[in-house]
Amino acid sequence: MGIEILQTTPLPPAVEEILQRDYQVHRLWQAPDRGALLGEVAGRVRGLVTSGSVGADRSLIEALPKLEIISSFGVGYDPIDIDCAKERGVIVTNTPDVLTDDVADIAMVLLLSVMRRIPQGDQFVRQGLWARGKFPLTDKMGGKVMGIVGLGRIGQAIARRAEPFGIEIRYFGPRRKDSVPYRYYDNLVAMAKDVDILMIACPGGKETAGIVNAAVIEALGPKGYIVNIARGSVVDEPAMVKALVEKKIAGAGLDVFANEPHVPQELLTLDNVALAPHVGSATHETRRAMGELVLKNLAAHFAGQPVLTRVV
Ligand code: 8YV
């Protein structure tokens, strides 16, 4: 019998192939009766493969007494109960770095899309409205000030892309970083007052839940844009939707939502938003690289080596 792995969510086919070849894999999302599968295999499972969307809660981790490692597909690990993993000495790994460029690309695309009204312009052409009149003017991206919420790997990659567009960068986070030349704020309302674009790039989870609240949104003001490529949980979504409906902010470019895949109904009819279905890392190349990292972490652990990208 090989090493037994419980998998909560599908991975790219090339990665699935190797996972199936090297381990005895139990596919939880396909089980007609989740409880029955767990009852049968829980006592033998040594590895859990999950994602930054599905995660692993306390009840799942505690149901697996022999669990040694959770290898997660995605950089964000907010739906994994890290405290529980620590208590039980379970290693948790994620997939940082390999997705940074793609997520930063989507951040810039969403910013341009909402500021230049690209989805609306596309509809304008398709619906034959162009022959009847000109498309309204939009806002220039160059010359604006961007406040990045969370200047980690992805936040810095966004800054590197935004600067050549003539955007000035500032940032908010838990601490000042001496390695960057940008102005730091320890107060999010203060930064929102000073910027045109609020770029959300921080981790999700308890510490950042709702930090972009009604006061921050109000401080951003009627000419301000929000872009969120991080987690829907970081923003008070009802407050943001209200501000968009009432034109208290200029617009939003959103790849993530509080209750995916459900998107607040109001957003679907607004012309000052650009929406994406959580696709920051969703390219063939990057999803494959993420999957390979999931496999490498598992392989290292079960070969008695240190894992490559450990969270705890
Ligand atoms: C994935 C992500 O969509 O890395 C993350 O944190 O949000 C995305 O790359 C997700 O983790 C897996 O479906």
Tell me the pLDDT of the chain averaged across its residues: 98
Give the pLDDT score at 109. Answer: 98
Give the pLDDT score at 19. Answer: 97
**Inter-residue contact 69 to 307 (CB < 8 Å):** yes
Residue recorded with tokens 């790219």:
12
Q: Helices 153-162 and 100-115: crossing angle, nearest 10°?
A: 50
The rounded Å distance from CA 77 to ligand 1 centre is 9
- The verdict on the CB of residue 283 being under 6 Å from ligand 1 is no
Of 240, 125, 162, the closest CA to residue 254 belongs to 240
The rounded Å distance from CA 275 to ligand 1 centre is 17
Q: What is the pLDDT of residues 138-196, one digit of tens each?
A: 999 999 999 999 999 999 999 999 999 999 999 999 999 999 999 999 999 999 999 99
pTM for this model (two decimals): 0.97
Q: What is the pLDDT of residues 276-305, one digit of tens each?
A: 999 999 999 999 999 999 999 999 999 999
Q: What is the DSSP string of the chain?
A: ---EEEE-S---HHHHHHHHHHSEEEEGGG-SSHHHHHHHHGGGEEEEEEETTT-B-HHHHHT-TT--EEEEESS--TTB-HHHHHHTT-EEE---STTHHHHHHHHHHHHHHHHTTHHHHHHHHHTT-GGGSPPPP----TT-EEEEE--SHHHHHHHHHHGGGTPEEEEE-SS--TT--SEEES-HHHHHHH-SEEEE-S--SGGGTT-B-HHHHHHH-TT-EEEE-S-GGGB-HHHHHHHHHTTSSSEEEES--TBTTB--GGGGG-SSEEE--S-TT-SHHHHHHHHHHHHHHHHHHHTTSPPSSB--
The rounded Å distance from CA 238 to ligand 1 centre is 23
The rounded Å distance from CA 290 to ligand 1 centre is 9
- What's the rounded Cα separation, in Å, for the pair 232 and 267? 14
- The verdict on the CB of residue 173 being under 6 Å from ligand 1 is no
Q: Which atom number of ligand 1 is nearest to the Cα of residue 77?
A: 6
Of 155, 255, 259, the closest CA to residue 203 belongs to 155
Which of 8, 49, 53 for a ligand 1 pocket mutation test, highest count of atoms within 8 Å of Cβ? 53
Mean pLDDT of 9-38: 96
Q: What is the pLDDT of residues 183-198, one digit of tens each?
A: 999 999 999 999 999 9
Of 257, 253, 218, the closest CA to residue 235 belongs to 257
Q: Residue 147 has which token pair?
A: 């406040």
Tell me: pLDDT of 1 over 70: no
Alpha-carbon distances of 229 from 18, 110, 159, 187, 279, rounded to whole Å: 30, 9, 14, 21, 9
Which of 15, 281, 285, 288 for a ligand 1 pocket mutation test, highest count of atoms within 8 Å of Cβ? 281
CA angle at 35 for the pair 30 and 36, rounded to the nearest 5°? 80
Tell me: pLDDT of 60 over 90: yes
Give the pLDDT score at 28. Answer: 97
237 is catalytic: no
The single residue of 87, 260, 266, 285 carrying the catalytic annotation is 260
284 is catalytic: no
Q: What is the pLDDT of residues 97-111, one digit of tens each?
A: 999 999 999 999 999
Mean pLDDT of 232-257: 98
Tell me: pLDDT of 70 over 80: yes
Mean pLDDT of 248-274: 98
